[in-house]
Structure 1
Amino acid sequence: MTKLAVTGHMDLTEESVPLVRAALRELLEPYREDLTGISCIAAGADALFAEEVIGLGGRLVVVIPSQDYRQAKVKPDHAAVFDQLVEAAVEVLVMPQETANRAAYEAANRTLLARAERLVAVWDGTLPSGKGGGTADVVEEARAAGLAVDVVWPPGTARRG
């Protein structure tokens, strides 16, 4: 069973979504016979990855960063997708943190990395913010732990704002 975790930007432009989706599908396709995807299923890259894992017939493991994450952080425009992904998952880990905050995200990211053989990073290459818990931080942690990192950022992909 190949276990791939994901990290990535939440703020992809609408035009970027099909580009990232296609690049993820291409990356995941060789693993389709034996694929487990591990994701926090946040809006953006995490959810796109999870949808592609399921679309290829893979197993989805969901890591929810805190007890209040669904109520506190999942916006109405992502709620249906979030709920569908939770329902489709073969395993849902809800982290013990009560509140969704940077510490909760860092703990969830450590769990993702501990369970993975590789990391898929939908990442524009920006450096860590120094705050922790962001995409660049997870890439740095994965590399430091000796995990292979596959960066997905197809030409034409951009972030909002």
Structure 2
Amino acid sequence: MPRIGVTGHRDIPAAALPSVRSAIRAELGDATGGVEALSSLAAGADQLFARIALDCAVPLTAVIPGMDYEAHLGGDEVRASYRRLLASCVARVDLPAEPTHEDAYYAAGRWIVDHVDRLVAVWDGRPARGPGGTGDVVAYARRTGVPVTVLWSPGARRS
């Protein structure tokens, strides 16, 4: 079964959301013979991708960075969404501890890239704001030959 992973920004501008949602649905729906989705279930793109996968009856695997992940996800709403999504996953991969949170996020992104047939990137095309960000994961995928589909709305800017 083909596997599609996701990387993306935590903050997706409202102007970009409709096209990103539609594009994720198309990416997941275009896979013939079924597909499996992989996500770290972080706020923003990861949770959006995971929700759409589940809405489309696509099996979802959670890839959990090696850190106190849930405590660093954001507010109560994001953590509650994370728990709901995690409970709906068909599998969970817990990665080993890393020295920093940035290292843990990047390790999770690389793990996803190393275990998928293609990567969906909800990405504005700009460099990562910190080590292990979306731009770094996209660069890693491209270096290793994993096809990347960038989803973004032209002209949309992150805050």
Which TM-score applies when normalising by structure 2?
0.90
- The equivalent of 1:133 in structure 2 is 132
Question: Secondary structure of the equivalent of 2:30?
Answer: helix
- Give the ranges of 4+ consecutive aligned residues of structure 1 lying more than 3 Å apart after TM superposition: 155-158
- TM alignment of 1:119-158, pairs within 5 A: 119-129=119-129, 131-155=130-154, 157-158=156-157
Q: Which moved more, 1:66-75 or 1:145-154?
A: 66-75
Q: 1:107-157: per-residue Cα shift (whole Å, max 9, x none)? A: 11121111111010011111345x421111111100110111111113464
* Contact 1:2/1:34, CA 8 A, preserved across alignment: yes
Query: Which runs of 5 or more structure 1 residues have no equivalent in the other structure?
Result: none
Shift of 1:106: 1.4
What's the % identity of the aligned pairs? 38
Q: Which protein is richer in helix relative to its size?
A: 1
1:49 and 2:56 are equivalent in the alignment: no
The verdict on how the C-alpha distance between 1:27 and 1:154 changes in structure 2, with shifts beyond 3 A counting, is farther
Distance in 1, Cα, partners of 2:32 & 2:53: 8
The verdict on how the C-alpha distance between 1:100 and 1:48 changes in structure 2, with shifts beyond 3 A counting, is farther
The verdict on how the C-alpha distance between 1:98 and 1:68 changes in structure 2, with shifts beyond 3 A counting, is farther
Corresponding residue pairs, total: 159
- TM alignment of 1:1-161, pairs within 5 A: 1-31=1-31, 33-97=33-97, 101-129=101-129, 131-155=130-154, 157-159=156-158, 161=159
Query: Which runs of 5 or more structure 2 residues have no equivalent in the other structure?
Result: none
Which TM-score applies when normalising by structure 1?
0.89
The verdict on how the C-alpha distance between 1:67 and 1:134 changes in structure 2, with shifts beyond 3 A counting, is closer
* Contact 1:120/1:152, CA 8 A, preserved across alignment: yes
Distance in 2, Cα, partners of 1:100 & 1:19: 34
One-letter code of the match for 1:37?
A
* Contact 1:35/1:53, CA 8 A, preserved across alignment: no
Distance in 2, Cα, partners of 1:51 & 1:154: 20
Question: Secondary structure of the equivalent of 1:31?
Answer: coil
Shift of 1:13: 2.2
